[in-house]
Structure 1
Amino acid sequence: MPSPRSRQALLIIGATSDIGRELALKLGAGRPVILAARRPQACAGLANELLEIGASAVHTLSFEATDLAGHRELVEHANTLAPIEVAVVAFGILGDTARSESDEAHVAEIATVDYTAQISMLTVLADVMETGTLVCFSSIAGWRARRANYVYGSTKAGLDAFAQGLADRLHGSKLRVIIARPGFVIGSMTQGMKPAPMSVYPGDVAEAIVQAMSKKRGSATLWIPGRLRILAWIMRLVPRAIWRHMPR
């Protein structure tokens, strides 16, 4: 008889992202893993690694974040492959700050991918999943929007507020929400950018999430690293005349 865990799936939505990949490898052994990505063919290497570390099966699905009407179909299809126990919403774009200052279409693209599509997907997952864990990604960028990346920061602020409300709605149920608030993440999305203070790597973010999941408690909000909480408190106190000149 297969173990109960072997029948409960890990769903990574945005499986080509650095953090999505790290979480897949940390959580995928001994269970089915479903990898959803805009370019599913790019998941072939990760799928092979997952099978090598003991994933009981690996499925790859095509996912387009801006196809909001397709979100429920994707999740319901994934759930027929194996009941979803852990769902990680790991897709997103940073966008081009200079372009977003004058290109309304690009602003709308960032807002759609980083906010509208996120809350759409979280709503579907919370409706379809009966038990387990939802993981989503806020950011220090959303704590107080900065001149240097205010469009991206505003989407993270909105997503954070939505996720907090969703966690409150699910309180007392068998479904919990883990909200990650990392600082600057050194990875493919930020390649070529100067790291900020308290920067982390995708593996650091994934490990913090895994540790939070292991505690078997309810929903949680994670500052990554933990001392980032102090910097966030200080950020609130900086006068706006100074804050508007802060770098990314």
Structure 2
Amino acid sequence: MKDAFGAPQSLLILGGGSEIALATARRLVARRTRTVVLAGRPSPGLDAAAEQLRGLGAAVTTIGFDALDPASHEDVLGKVFAEGDIDTVLLAFGVLGDQARDEREPGAAVTVAATNYTGAVSAALVCGAALRRQGHGSLVVLSSVAGERARRSNFVYGSSKAGLDAFALGLGDALRPDGVHVLVVRPGFVRTRMTAGLAEPPFTTTPDAVARAIETGLRRRARLLWVPAPLRYVMSALRHLPHPLFRRLPV
């Protein structure tokens, strides 16, 4: 349960190696979160993340989790919730893909879609049902501004995030009567290992900035966050731009 100050005491991260997720975990642990479960594919990176959070005073466990294996999600995640209530779930896994390769190789595009959308739908539904049974908790879903309007440069990734975004907003409406809070986060370009080497557009942000926004959004029980906030207006303008003009933009 959340403590007297409204801070989550337990956190489950799906995509335990995500830099945004770990930045968020560090902030929450520095406040009052004491129990963290990192779910992801076993790797030295996952183990290092666990050790980092233990060094901050959290009790951390790791579990094997594969977004591309939805058939395992109920069993794997069910065991986490069976150990005790989870105050906050952060769904942070995803892949950027390679647009040129994804267009050439349909199988690669399917992997992007299956990870970012199908796997996320499965995991979110399993966690949402568990939070509903608890009668409380928050589910944070990392979406992207790329889902706001598909662009020529990354429409495979963008379409997967568009689907996830719409799904998560609907899930939030479905779970709200049961006391469950869903927060959808739409970061812009985030400076991480996944984006290393790519040209940084205006409004580029950092994992720590996204983490600060998530912490605030949880406290305020927000439904939707843009990071940085001005992207709300930029993307609104792009969304309503006539397509012949939008198509000519270098995006």
TM-score, normalised relative to structure 2: 0.91
- 1:157-186, CA deviations, whole angstroms, 9 ceiling, x for partnerless residues? 111111111111122322100100111111
Matched with 2:96 is: 94
Give the structure 1 partner of residue 77 of structure 2: 75
Alignment-mate amino acid for residue 246 of structure 1: L
Residues 100 and 7 of structure 1: is their aligned pair in 2 closer, same or farther, counting only changes over 3 Å?
closer
The answer for the alignment partner of 2:247 in structure 1 is 244
Q: Which runs of 4+ in 1 moved over 3 A?
A: 3-8, 245-248
Shift of 1:9: 2.3
Aligned length in residues: 243
Residues 1:179 and 2:184 are matched in the alignment: yes
Q: Secondary structure at the match of 1:134?
A: strand
Residue correspondence of structure 1 range 1-248 to structure 2 within 5 A: 8-29=9-30, 30-55=33-58, 57-129=59-131, 130=134, 131-215=136-220, 217=221, 219-248=222-251
Q: What is the distance in 2 between the residues matched to 1:145 and 1:6? A: 36
Seen in structure 2, the aligned counterparts of structure 1 residues 245 and 190 have a Cα distance that, compared at 3 Å, is farther
Contact 1:7 1:83 in 2 (8 A): no
**Pair 1:205–1:6, CA change in 2 (3 A):** closer
Counterparts of 1:142 and 1:247, CA distance in 2: 17
- Give the superposition deviation at 1:40: 4.2
Q: Which moved more, 1:44-53 or 1:223-232?
A: 44-53
Is the CA contact 1:11–1:88 (under 8 Å) kept in the aligned structure 2? Answer: yes
- Report if aligned partners of 2:8, 2:87 keep a CA contact under 8 Å in 1: no
Deviation at 1:242, TM superposition (A): 3.0
C-alpha distance in 2 between matches for 1:229 and 1:182: 10
Q: How far, CA to CA, are the matches of 1:7 and 1:158 in structure 2?
A: 28
Alpha-carbon displacement from aligned partner over 1:187-209 (angstroms, at most 9, x marks no partner): 11111001111111111111100
Q: TM-score, length-normalised on structure 1?
A: 0.92
| Gapped regions of structure 2 (runs ≥ 5) | none
How far apart in 2 are the matches of 1:132 and 1:158?
A: 23
- CA distance in structure 2 between the aligned counterparts of 1:7 and 1:120, rounded to whole angstroms: 24
Query: Percent identity among equivalent residues?
Result: 39
User: Mean Cα displacement is larger for which, 21-30 or 123-132?
Assistant: 21-30
Asked if 2 retains the 8 angstrom alpha-carbon contact of 1:8 and 1:83, the reply is: no
Q: Which runs of 5+ in 1 are unaligned?
A: none
Deviation for aligned residue 1:246: 3.2
1:6·1:32 contact (CA, 8 Å) conserved in 2? no
Deviation at 1:23, TM superposition (A): 1.4
Instruction: State whether residues 132 and 174 of structure 1, in contact with CA within 8 Å, keep that contact through their aligned partners in structure 2.
Output: yes
Coordinate RMSD, CA, aligned:
1.9
Measured after TM superposition, the shift of residue 7 of structure 1 is 9.9
Which string of whole-angstrom CA distances, capped at 9 and with x for unpartnered residues, describes residues 95-134 of structure 1? 0100111211011101100100011111000111221100
The 1:228/1:27 distance shift into structure 2, 3 A limit, reads same
Rounded to whole Å, the distance in 2 between the matches of 1:75 and 1:192 is 35
